[in-house]
Structure 1
Amino acid sequence: MTDRLRSYLNALTAAPSVEQLWSMHSARMADYGFDRLFYGFTYFRSGDSLGDPADFILLTNHDRAYTDVFIGEGLYFDAPMLRWALEHEGACSWSILRDLHASKTLTPGERRVLDFNRRMDVTAGYTVSFKAVSLRSKGAMALTARRGMTQEEVDAVWTRHGEDLTLMNTVAHLKILTLPKNSAGRSLTRRQQEVLNWVGEGKNVRDIAEILGLTCATVEKHLRLAREALDVETTAQAVLKAAFQNQLFVLSR
């Protein structure tokens, strides 16, 4: 491992927020020619479904003209490289898309995605699919090469630096999973976090009221607001979802 790579990984693992990590990682990948990144992760995969898009962890520096269609209009579901990522782990060149074209097995949805990507100059790159931590989870990073780069040039970069690039993206992925994330801006207040923390410790409403010096009605109000913020129906679901987002048992910041 080079000193530069070691220094970068140390900085990456010390990042205090998702925003700072993403800014740092985007700049580092651009050094290798990958100036547009798309990271996605879900804890709610079930069969062919990735769950509610509102619950995805999505990070990207693509512009809105791309994301509004790719995510907003649901093109991601038919993206061939996403399909590959769901079925594999490791790194894959987008050169396999040429084989799909040649095989004439593309679905209409897949053709729509590839046509859109061509219009947006998303034509050359690599996808890194990370090892799943459970049957219901999956994460991947799509690295799009800068405009004008061919897939052959991208593959040459990967031949020289692929091991380091895979390592850097894997560490970024693992670090993201440890940081608090407010899905769609639905952050919990400190009091909502506090009452959910106590629920997670096995305390009931009466116990929590006594511990915090509140009335039972006030505790119930904070639990209701937490459920609404997290868009779930039960307090148990709220505890689970907040834990997935690393909004529980966090150090004061």
Structure 2
Amino acid sequence: MVAAPSLAARAGNSPSLPDVAALLARILAGTDAELIWEDICNFFGSLGFEHLLYGYSPDSRGAVLGAPEDYLILTTLPKPVVREMIASGYFRLSVTFNWALNNVGLASWSMTAEEAGMPQDFAVPPDGAEFFLRHGLLTGCSIGFAQERTRGRAVMALIAPPSMPQSDLDSILDEWRDVVFTVAAVAHRCLSALPYLPPGRRLTHRQREVMEWVAEGKTTADIALIMGITPPTVEKHLRLARETLGVETTPHALVKATFLNQMFVASPQEYLALKSVSAWHL
């Protein structure tokens, strides 16, 4: 397989300021997550990156990342690689992943455990090292994003061809750091704000409608009258919504649906069903 051109080789044909501005305008105006993802893949691909990996856990709390069933994972890596990474927890072995969870900015994969604030005895076990080597995940950078809430964490990894030395990538990123971070951060803000409908967590139209009326402060009797259904049917929809979202109470279901951006949605659609990976696919 022919490796993608290096960032250095692209220097003479790098995106101009108008190119970057046009890209950011498309992302900010976009309501189709798949098109946003395609745009940023094309942009970072033009810089010579071979793969992208974006992970977002809308219900995470600090170091607790939440249920894998709720993760939004977008990537150009083969799905079997991502499945193995999630199932075995190899992503938690990345120094820069752990740094990006708690920091804002770009971290080169040359970052040491000490620089990332990891425990002094931190070491990647042999099976983890073999996984990264086997799949050529050797050269790249990880990006951490600003946290506007106490819930929700995201990390993006940009992966260069394995034939490219990390030192070469670092020298180019010194020049492109702000552009790379800006495009990634704007994409994250937009992707994380769009509806996410993971398999097994997808509310039906009726369930969402009932939940929205609950959020408006309506009682079961009110909702039954408004929707022209019986109170037991309202309770049935609420019960099914709780089961779908994996929670026990209706208030928790409201919070969970809000984190997934499934409440008060103008036009809910299938959301990257073919390109996202969650525990439902493992």
Higher fraction of helix:
1
In 1, distance between residues paired with 2:151 and 2:176?
31
In 2, distance between residues paired with 1:72 and 1:28?
30
Report the counterpart of residue 123 of structure 1 in structure 2: 138
In 2, distance between residues paired with 1:235 and 1:64?
34
In 2, distance between residues paired with 1:47 and 1:92?
19
1:24 maps to which of 35, 39, 55? 39
TM-score, normalised to structure 2, is 0.81
TM-score, normalised to structure 1, is 0.90
In 1, distance between residues paired with 2:95 and 2:128?
8
In 2, distance between residues paired with 1:123 and 1:98?
16
In 2, distance between residues paired with 1:110 and 1:90?
27
In 2, distance between residues paired with 1:150 and 1:106?
26
In 1, distance between residues paired with 2:167 and 2:113?
12
Whichever residue aligns with residue 191 of structure 1, its letter is R
- Shift in Å, 1:251: 1.0
What is the total number of aligned residue pairs between the two structures?
A: 251
Report the counterpart of residue 211 of structure 2 in structure 1: 196
Whichever residue aligns with residue 14 of structure 1, its letter is A
1:54 maps to which of 69, 84, 106? 69
Larger RCO (CA under 8 A, 6+ residues apart): 2
Report the counterpart of residue 30 of structure 2 in structure 1: 15
In 1, distance between residues paired with 2:99 and 2:199?
27
- Shift in Å, 1:36: 1.2
Worse overlay, 17-26 or 39-48 = 39-48
- Shift in Å, 1:238: 1.2
2:82 maps to which of 67, 75, 90? 67
Query: How does 1:1-253 map onto structure 2 within 5 Å?
Result: 2-97=17-112, 105=120, 107-109=122-124, 112-252=127-267
- Tell me the C-alpha RMSD between the 2 structures: 2.3
Deviations along 1:182-201, one digit per CA (max 9) or x if unpaired, are 12353211111111111111
The answer to whether the 8 Å contact 1:127/1:142 transfers is yes
Query: Gapped runs of 5+ residues in structure 2?
Result: 1-15, 269-282
Query: Gapped runs of 5+ residues in structure 1?
Result: none
Report percent identity of matched pairs. Answer: 34
- Shift in Å, 1:222: 1.2
In 1, distance between residues paired with 2:256 and 2:125?
32
Which stretches of structure 1, 4 residues or longer, exceed 4 Å deviation after superposition? 97-100, 103-106, 108-111
Report the counterpart of residue 7 of structure 2 in structure 1: none
Equivalent residue of 2:236, what SS?
Answer: helix
Whichever residue aligns with residue 133 of structure 2, its letter is R
